[in-house]
Each structure stands twice: as C-alpha cells, then as structure tokens.
Structure 1
Amino acid sequence: MITIHCGLHKTGSSSIQLALELCSTRGRTIVTPKPGDDRSEQGWRERLSKVSRAQHAVFSDENFLGSPYAGYQLAPERIAMLREALHGARYQIVVYIRPQLDWLPSVYLQSVQEGMTTGPEAFWASIKGQPYLRWTTLLDLLQRESSAERVIARAHTRSRDTVHDFFVQVGLGKPSRTGPTKIRENISIAAVQAPLLLALNSDTGFSGRERPYLRNTFQNILAAGARSGLSPFPVGIQVEIVEQFGSDWSELAELVASTDQAEATIVRESLALWRADPLPFAGSTLDAPLIREEMLRSLRTLASEVVVPSREGIRRRMAAKLRSDPRDFPAAVARALWRRSAT
C-alpha cells in the first residue's frame, strides 16, 4: 500500500517528516521534502513516479495540495495529477486537520516567519473566500476525485501525538526517538511577535543570506517566554472565522463518522474545545502596548545572549533607542543580531 500524506500545514507535518527520515525504511520507499526540490508540475510528477514504482511507500509533503496562503487553490489539479501518476496502484491518503479558528492564526504566523509582509486584515481578506478552506469541501474532493482506496482524516489536537498517530495509521510501528516533545521541527512565533517580525520583513536593508538568521532568532531565542493566549487577528476577524467555519467542523464530524466512529467522536470533542469568546488581540502596530512590552522583553533576552564587557551599557542604549525612535527599533536589533550571528 502506498500512503500519500498531504498535510495539512501546521498539523505536525514537519515532525512527521523528520520522524520518517530518522526511522529505518522498514521495507518502504520514503519520499519527504528536500531543500531544492523542483516544485514545478514536472517535479511533482517525478516524485510521485518514484513512489508509484514501489509496492510499499510513504510520500509526505504538506505543499502537495498547494499553498495554505492561497487557500489550497491548486488542490483539484494536484489530485488529478495524483490519480494519473498512481493509476493502477493501491494507495491511501492521510490528512490531518484542525479547527479553522486555531489553524488560520497559526498559518498567518507561519507566513510572517517565512518573510511575508501582509498584515492580519489583508491576509484574512485575501483568503476568506477560498472554497477549500472548508474541510468538508476539501475532503469531498479527495474522496470523489483521487481514486484512493481510503481517505483518512485525522483531527490534530493538543492531546494527540501526531507523529505516533501517523505511524500507527501507516503501519510503521513505533517511531524512532519520538514522544510528545522529542520531535518538533517547526517552532512558531507568538502572536505578539508578529508585528516585530513584519517590520523586519519590510526592511530592505537585509539580504537573503541574513533573513534566515532573523527567523532563527525569533524561533529559537525569542519565542520561549513570549506572552501566549493572544491572537494575531482582531476580534472582528475571529468572530468572522467562527461564523464562516463553525458549521463546517460539525459537518466534518458526520463525514468522518461514515468511516471511523471513534475518530468522529474526537472531532466532536475538539469542537467542544472551541473558544466561546475571542482571544485578546495582540496588536498590529509597534506602538501597541503589548507589542512595546514584547520589545522590552526581547531586549532583556537579547542583552543576556550578547557576550560583551558591559551588558548594562547595552541595555541603556537599547532602551534609549526604544524611547527615541521605536519604529526603527526592530531593524536596529536585527542588525546587532546579524553581527553577532556572523561572528
């Protein structure tokens, strides 16, 4: 049996792929994303051809259905490609999904990490009308058009170890070196950090070589300790998301129940965990109170990381910079970080 794992984004796909790369092949061909992969139609066809020739294989790539930032617009043509490439083969599709109220903010933060400069209002306006953001519509496409023997929809929940769950679904046994916290590839920034990184993304003074250091700094140094429990979306957008997609998650439970009653129960239970009230908005400008608070926290964190003769002097100079020219502050910090990373 061939397994096609197509995400979705922000549901543990990077962790699944890392676990697949760490484990022995156990008699299966494993195809996961690699740096420099050809993302053209021909490139996708070549990778699918590799698994089509194997009796047992796992193909995992959350980008197969297209970009989440475009609402998976390419899903129909990619499924048609899959059906053609695997014609005559036995295969199943595995997809992990999470409530849109949790998923969309996470995807937006990921877009900021990847260098986009779109604010939350513009992001929502560009994506809210996309049909395949309704998971029932997307699953109907997979079931109706793919010719897969099974389409397995699994809920991505905080209590579920997605890596272990995937290995069980695929029949790979226990994943190597894994557990609830041992494999975690893609660390997300907090909502309160998004305006800071957005400002840096908009700064043209950084080269393509420097920008990965910015992302790495936010993910691996500044993310820990940032205030949680906030949304990158204003309250009005959060309400719109619930109004637009709340029924979709309920309908999804009924769709899943047709093949897996136990999983349908988990979907319904995760629906019950949806927040009744919107989360506080983190803010979207550098002078918003919570964003300024995060600037100061970042200052303290970065000052403690920099090895120099006088940390107190740096704190004073950075604090003065924050007071005198707060809008230039993120770029100033980033330049200092780049000098530190390059040494």
Structure 2
Amino acid sequence: MVTALPGRRLILHVGVQKTGTTSLQRFLKLRAAELSDQVIVRTPEEGTPMRPLGRAAIAASLSDDKDHRQALRVAFEDVLDTVPDGPQTVILSHENLAGAMPGNGGETRLYPALPRIVKILRKCAQAYGFSGEVVLYTRQMLSWRPSVWAQAVRTDGYADTFQTFMDRTAGLPEWEDLVDRLRAALGSDVVTRLRLEDETDLGRPGRQLLLHAGIPAARIDALAPLDGAAMERLNGGSTEFLRQLNGLALNPHARDRVADLVARAQYLFTADAPSEGTL
C-alpha cells in the first residue's frame, strides 16, 4: 500500500464521455515522462488496473449494491497501489469513472450515479493519504447529445435511431445540475468544472487540467503538440450500419470485431468511391 505525503494531491479526472478525453489521455501519456517531476499520470492503458477500474465504475453506476461498491473499491485500490511515493500531484484520468453515459445499459439520465461513485473513490483515496479532488469537462449540450448517440452506437451496442435517442434524452438538465449535485455531495472546493470550449490549443488537449494540476503555462506550451485527433466520430453511413448491426443477436466479441473493421474502412459506407491508395 502506497502511503502518500499528508494532503498529497490526487485529481480524479472523470471525463465525462465525449468531451475530448481520448485526445487528452493520449497527450498525457505521450508527455508523462517529461512532466514526471511534477505529475504522475494514470490513463486506461491496456493491461493496467485502470481498465478494470473503468468497468467497475460502469457496473456500479448501473447497479447500486454492496458487491458492486466493493468491487469498485478494490479496483481503485489496485490503481492506487501503482502510484509511486513522492510529492508529485497524481492525475487519474478515466471517462468511465462518470458511470454509464446516456445510451449505455438503458441509462437516459445525466450521470445520476457520479456523486455516489466519486464519494467512494474519494474516501478510498483519503485512506491512502491523498486529497481526492474531482475534475470534469463539459461540452455544450446541443453538440454533446448527438456525439453521445454516435458513441453509444459505436461502443455500447445502442440500436435506436438518432431521433429516438434525442427524444429520450430531451429532458436532460444542463451541466450545472450535475456540478451542483457533485458539490453538494463532496464540497464546493473539491469539484472543478472545465469547459471543452475553453480548450483553445487543439494540439495540446487537457491544457486546463494541467494548469489546474500546477503545471506552468509556459511549460505546457513548450510540450510538443499531438499530430492529429483521436477517436473521431464515424461517418454517417458507418454509424447507421453499426446501429442496424446492434439490433442483431450477435456475440458481443464478434460485434466489437466488426465495429473495429468498420472504423478502419469507413470509405465502404459512403456514396463516394475511395481515393487511390486507400484500399
């Protein structure tokens, strides 16, 4: 068990989904060594305890029972055990810590379980001697909901049409509702809301998060930028193909394999012929 310095900062970046998290995590991962004197970074890389932590958070958001809460604690402790001793601020970034997004597992509300999830995680972090702060990004609701629908189709097996999804989520409140619920559960000084629209340097995603973690602006600006966006939205034809595929009784593993193939060959699902060299 890692024993942190008294009050050592630990920032839980909980996403939420479709607010640039994949690009942010890619940037953090690539620049982690350069920043390691000031921050320790953990992102959901394959084969690390961050992956099961994300799965445990989703499961706990869809079923609030003792077993799921305990599984979440154990998964989080496994992550904390990987954090080395030192004075550095720790950033744990995983969008699934927010719980199921609308369209996943029948969820249609705005992260109702997030306050409960982060209360569990923060209590666990404090037992290790960390502070346990919470940071979330938000995105304008008018653009966020369509992006969430496309993501739910791509990754969560969502089979309903865009209009059905928009109708079912028409009553979602604005982000202030979620932020207020988090602050009521944890305290106003514990929760920080960042807006995706304020990320002005697309090559250095997560700049606001790094500033919040104490990295000087000049040092962030000196980091080499990313060379492209990550997890871009599929084109319309690809999304519609997957939506209809989601309505079939396929083995989930087989369905995911097909989704990967579709993402790599989107030109097959457009009316335009592929350009030379894409085959």
Do both share a fold (TM > 0.5)? yes
Query: Which structure is richer in relative contact order (CA contacts within 8 A, separation 6 or more)?
Result: 2
CA distance in 2, matches of 1:295, 1:212: 21
Q: 1:194 Cα deviation (Å)?
A: 2.7
Greater mean alpha carbon deviation, residues 5-14 or residues 149-158: 149-158
Matching residue of 2:154: 113
Give the structure with the larger helix fraction: 1
Residue number among 64, 70, 77 corresponding to 2:97 in the alignment: 64
Q: Within the alignment, does 1:174 sit opposite 2:220 as a pair? A: yes
CA distance in 2, matches of 1:175, 1:19: 13
- Higher radius of gyration, 1 or 2: 1
CA distance in 1, matches of 2:165, 2:152: 9
Q: Give runs of aligned pairs for residues 49-198 of structure 1, distance below 5 A.
A: 49=77, 50-51=79-80, 56-69=89-102, 70=107, 71-87=110-126, 89-114=130-155, 115-130=157-172, 133-147=173-187, 149-157=189-197, 159-161=200-202, 162-172=205-215, 173-174=219-220, 178-179=224-225, 182=227, 184-191=229-236, 193-198=238-243
What amino acid is aligned across from residue 97 of structure 1 in structure 2?
Answer: T
> How many aligned residue pairs are there?
231
Q: Within the alignment, does 1:222 sit opposite 2:266 as a pair? A: yes
CA distance in 2, matches of 1:65, 1:33: 14
> The residue matched to 1:199 in structure 2 has which SS?
helix
Q: Conserved in 1, the CA contact under 8 Å of 2:135 and 2:193?
A: yes
Normalising to structure 1: TM-score of the pair?
0.57
Structure 2 gaps of 5+ residues are 1-8, 57-68
Q: Give runs of aligned pairs for residues 1-343 of structure 1, distance below 5 A.
A: 1-22=9-30, 23-24=32-33, 25-26=36-37, 28-35=39-46, 36-38=51-53, 39-40=55-56, 41-49=69-77, 50-51=79-80, 56-69=89-102, 70=107, 71-87=110-126, 89-114=130-155, 115-130=157-172, 133-147=173-187, 149-157=189-197, 159-161=200-202, 162-172=205-215, 173-174=219-220, 178-179=224-225, 182=227, 184-191=229-236, 193-204=238-249, 207-222=251-266, 295-297=270-272, 300-301=273-274, 305-306=278-279
CA distance in 1, matches of 2:113, 2:233: 25
Greater mean alpha carbon deviation, residues 74-83 or residues 167-176: 167-176
Cα gap change, 1:66 to 1:208, in 2 (>3 Å): closer
Structure 1 gaps of 5+ residues are 227-293, 307-343
Q: Conserved in 1, the CA contact under 8 Å of 2:133 and 2:190?
A: yes
> The residue matched to 1:63 in structure 2 has which SS?
helix
Task: Kindly provide the CA deviation profile for residues 45-87 of structure 1, in whole angstroms up to 9, marking residues without a partner as x.
Answer: 2354444976531111111121112231211311321342233
Identity %: 20
CA distance in 1, matches of 2:224, 2:229: 9
> The residue matched to 1:4 in structure 2 has which SS?
strand
